[in-house]
Amino acid sequence: MRRFNEWLAVRGTGAFGTMWAFYVFTVYGLLPVLFPAARDQLLYWSNVIQLVALPLIMVGQVVQGRAAEDRDQETHDAVMAELAELKEMHSELRAQSPVKP
């Protein structure tokens, strides 16, 4: 169930973070101008969308942030391992080179 929840949160966050979502919500926001009698109904559905979207986007950002932190940790570990190897090689080269007065 957790995998599904995280999958849905990431997909929802991605869907709300598109230009198409912006265009849809912009048009939706202008509908009361064209249909003033439906203003209350449109406002109701706007509130429902906000109540659903806010937690969905927040959870999606947490999941995406966790994935980014994992990638950053892997990169850090790889860089530190490479640094340790380079330090070892540097020490070996210094030991092999003649000492200058």
Q: Can you tell me the distance from the alpha carbon of 5 to that of 59, in angstroms, rounded to the nearest whole number?
A: 9
Structural domain containing residue 56 = 2-96
70 is written with which tokens? 């994992």
Count how many domains the chain has. Answer: 1
**Mean pLDDT, all residues of the chain:** 92
Residue 49's pLDDT is what? Answer: 93
Residue 19: count of CB within 10 angstroms of its CB:
7
Q: CA 64, 69, 70: angle at the middle one, nearest 5?
A: 100
Assigned domain for 101 exists: no
Assigned domain for 22 exists: yes
**Positions in the chain short of pLDDT 70:** 99-101
